[in-house]
Structure formats: structure tokens, C-alpha cells
Amino acid sequence: MGTFWGPDLEALRREDPEIAGVLLGELERQRSGLHLIASENFTSAAVLAALGSTLTNKYAEGYPGQRYYRGCAEVDRAEKLAIERAKALFGAEHVNVQPHSGASANMAAYAALVQPGDTVLAMDLPHGGHLTHGSKVNFSGKWFRTVGYHVRPDTELIDYDEVRELALAHRPALIICGATSYPRLLDFPVFRDIADEVGAYLMVDAAHIIGLVAGRAVPSPVPFADVVSCTTHKVLRGPRGGMLLCREPLGARIDKAVFPFTQGGPMMHAIAAKAVALREASRPEFQGYAHQVVRNSQALSAGLAAEGMRAVAGGTDTHLALADLRELGVCGRDAEDRCEQAGITLNKNAVPFDPEKPTTASGIRVGTAAVTTQGMGEAQMREIAGLIATAVRADPATAAGASALREIAVRAEELAQRFPAYALGSSYELA
């Protein structure tokens, strides 16, 4: 154990054995089950090393060469490397790597592009959008007049005719293209055309797909968007954090919107970890990983559909898939609970035009970024689909159902241990 964690864990054990126990418990949880949360992944040991480094001790308000504190020469180097690597990887003119999260990045983008009270056109939350795209419980819905676009009832694909009609009717200052539970590709050129037609800025929230963009597995939004916001975890396989890519004329506005408008001191240990992840994502083997993520997602979606869980939008082009459980007579909440008891972590999710409330939901969302990092392929996805199907149908209130869930948990752990996450003594290889 010391080989992987080094002396720091021993220091933590001596100083705070309770928190040390939490760390080890979480490590065991990650190793002993199947992890299909679409927004989660396993970082490399190198990323973890940067996150746990002495860089966390440095205050560095401002930007490289323009800090409000002395002693920033080393952290300046780290931030410059992260920026240069992101520019090269995505072909971006300007990059800000300081946002603490995807939501922080989105807030800064709003601050740079629009004023409170302006109209924003974005994907409606129940149809796949994000809280920061106009939900009334979020700053975006409280400070801006938000109009939601939807998917078509017949195809469950974005209704681009409706997007254009709404844009012409409401003349938004900002159009947001992006989603948190939409499994198909987004048509960036169409969004660009619509934005140009009404004189709106186009922001692409690429939090979920930016790793696939890095791996050349899906088209890039960078040539079409005024601003691209994203996270650095998920498929990109970096630390939890955010990032903004934009056109050079907007660079100064984006930087001022991040600091000093929405954030104070950046987390330099996280920025260094972002730099590490961006370097890893620039390697040819990462492209193989990204394409395998998509193949695995398609195999898992098809496997679930074969078990009676209808594929929303007919399937997936990305790392995530939605499955409608209504034919099985099980709601998403119960499916989520049963799968967790069986050692499979996924989340309930509303499907388009869902008759259930969000806390119940009619579907589940699955993602393949983490299991692909572990080295799993299509054969394992078909196996996992069968395990999920058995778990979803197993009623834990019955003796037979509870027994079935225990058996699946054993099988899930066996599969996870055949493809270990964080093998002690070495960092895992890129898939």
C-alpha cells in the first residue's frame, strides 16, 4: 500500500486515522464495483501526485506574470504549461484554466458575454440540459430570462427548427449548445448559423464531451463557438475542475470574468494536475481510449436495449447512454438503488417527456469513461448490461430478489478486479 500512496498516507494515518479510513474506504469502493456515472473517471497516478503536491500552499491571485503575490515563478510555469497544452490540443486561441468547476466556468462565461436580465436560449433541463442552462434554482435561471429548446417527440433528437424559431422570436443575447444527458452528437454549424442570424453569442458547454474532442472521437466545437466551457474530469480524465476556451478578442473579458469577478485565488495544485491531464490527452494512445469509450457506450446501450431497456434517441454517439425503463415497470430511482446494492453505480435520469418527477424518473444514465480507463471492452459491456438487467428486475423486498442482488455484487466485484483501478505499485496504463 505504501508503494502507491507513499509516506503521506502514513502521516495521515498517524494524524487523523478517521480520515485515512475514509480515503482507504473510498479506494476500496472504487476497486470493488462497476462505476458507470457518466461524469466520473479515474485519474492517473501522475494527476493525483500533482493534486496532492505543495502547490496547494501557494496563493496566486491574478495570472502568470501579473500576480498579486510574490513567489509565483513556479506556479506561473505550471499555469503557462496548462494553457499552452490546451491551446495545442484543442486549437483554441485563448484558454483560461482557473475555473474551480464546470459551473464556475459557466458563470464566468455568462459574466463575460451577457448582462443580468438578458435572454438566454438553452436546452431545457428535462430534455437533457444542465442546471446552469437556466434552471430556476440556479443563478442562470434567477439572473437571466431563459428560454428552453427541446428534443422532438418522435426521434428524441434536438429540434433544430424549434431552436431557430425560438431564437427568431426571442432574440437571445446568448445561445447555449450543450447538455448533460443527451447521447447524440450536437450540430455545431447549425447552432453557429442560428446565432449569427439573430446576433447572439454562441457558447458550447462541452463538459461531457471535451475528452472525446481531445481524443478526436467526436467533432470539435472550438471552430464554431465564441466560448467553450468544459470540465477537466469526466472523459478528459483530469482533476475535478473547469476550463474556458475562446476566441482571442474575448480573452480579456473571459479572464476578468473568472478573476476577479467570480473567483479569488486559483487552486494551483489543480491547475498543475490539469496540465498533466492535458499532456496525457495529447498522446496517440488517448485517441484510442476515446474511441473505445464510444464503442463501449454503444455496446452497453445496445445490450440494455436487448434486455428491454429502450435506448433513448435510438442509441448513442458519445460516452453516455440513456435507457427508458418503463417497459420493465421499474422507475429510475428503484433501478439506481437496486444497482447500487449490486455493486453497480449509475444514476436515475429523466427521459424526454417523462411522466415521472425528476426524483423518481423513468430512466437511467450510464457512462463508459471509467470502465474503459480500466481496460474493459465491448465484451465486458455486454456482460455489464446483463448484470444491470438482472439487478433492475430484482426486488430487494423479496428473498429471491435480495439473493440475486448479492450474487450480482459478487460478479461485479470479480469483473472489477479483473480490470483493476489504481493497481498498487504502479499507475495504470492508458487504455
The per-residue pLDDT for range 336-353, each reduced to its tens digit, is: 999 999 999 999 999 999
Give yes or no for a contact between 233 and 240, defined as CB atoms under 8 angstroms apart: yes
Confidence at residue 388, expressed as pLDDT on a 0 to 100 scale = 98
Confidence at residue 126, expressed as pLDDT on a 0 to 100 scale = 84
Mean pLDDT, the chain, integer: 94
Report in angstroms the alpha-carbon separations of 202 from 121, 229, 310. Answer: 10, 11, 33
Q: In this structure, are strands 320-324 and 227-231 parallel, antiparallel, or unpaired?
A: unpaired
Lowest mean pLDDT among 41-50, 169-178, 419-428: 419-428
* Cross-strand pairs, 230: 243
Stronger pLDDT, 137 or 37, i.e. the higher one:
37
Confidence of residue 141 (pLDDT cuts 50, 70, 90): confident
| 2, pLDDT greater than 70 | no
Q: What amino acid positions are annotated as catalytic residues?
A: 59, 61, 205, 231, 234, 240
Give yes or no for a contact between 134 and 170, defined as CB atoms under 8 angstroms apart: no
Backbone conformation region of residue 396, classed left if phi is above 0, alpha if psi is from -120 to 50, else beta: alpha
Confidence at residue 5, expressed as pLDDT on a 0 to 100 scale = 44
Stronger pLDDT, 8 or 215, i.e. the higher one:
215
| 428, pLDDT greater than 50 | no
Cis peptide before 17, with omega less than 30 degrees from 0?
no
Measuring CA to CA, which residue among 126, 120, 123, 127 is closest to residue 141?
A: 120
Confidence at residue 431, expressed as pLDDT on a 0 to 100 scale = 32
Confidence at residue 125, expressed as pLDDT on a 0 to 100 scale = 84
Q: Which domains does the chain have, with CATH numbers?
A: 54-281 (3.40.640.10), 285-418 (3.90.1150.10)
Confidence of residue 153 (pLDDT cuts 50, 70, 90): very high
Q: Where are the alpha helices (DSSP H) in 307-377?
A: 332-341, 369-373
| 108, pLDDT greater than 80 | yes
Instruction: Work out the average pLDDT over 341-368.
Output: 97
Sheet order of strands, 320-324 included = 310-311, 320-324, 363-367, 347-349
Confidence at residue 421, expressed as pLDDT on a 0 to 100 scale = 80
Determine whether 407 is exposed, middle or buried from the number of CB atoms within 10 Å of its CB (0-12, 13-18, 19+).
middle
Confidence of residue 422 (pLDDT cuts 50, 70, 90): low
| 258, pLDDT greater than 50 | yes
Measuring CA to CA, which residue among 82, 427, 106, 94 is closest to residue 267?
A: 82
The C-alpha cell that represents 348 in the structure block: 436515475
| 4, pLDDT greater than 70 | no
Lowest mean pLDDT among 55-69, 134-148, 245-259: 134-148
Instruction: Work out the average pLDDT over 178-186.
Output: 96
Lowest mean pLDDT among 4-13, 167-176, 360-369: 4-13
Confidence at residue 6, expressed as pLDDT on a 0 to 100 scale = 44
Report in angstroms the alpha-carbon separations of 340 from 5, 292, 351, 391. Answer: 27, 25, 20, 9
Instruction: Work out the average pLDDT over 235-261.
Output: 97
For residues 94-116, b (16+ Cβ closer than 10 Å) or e, as one string? bbbbbbbbbbbbbbbbbbbbbee
Confidence at residue 426, expressed as pLDDT on a 0 to 100 scale = 33
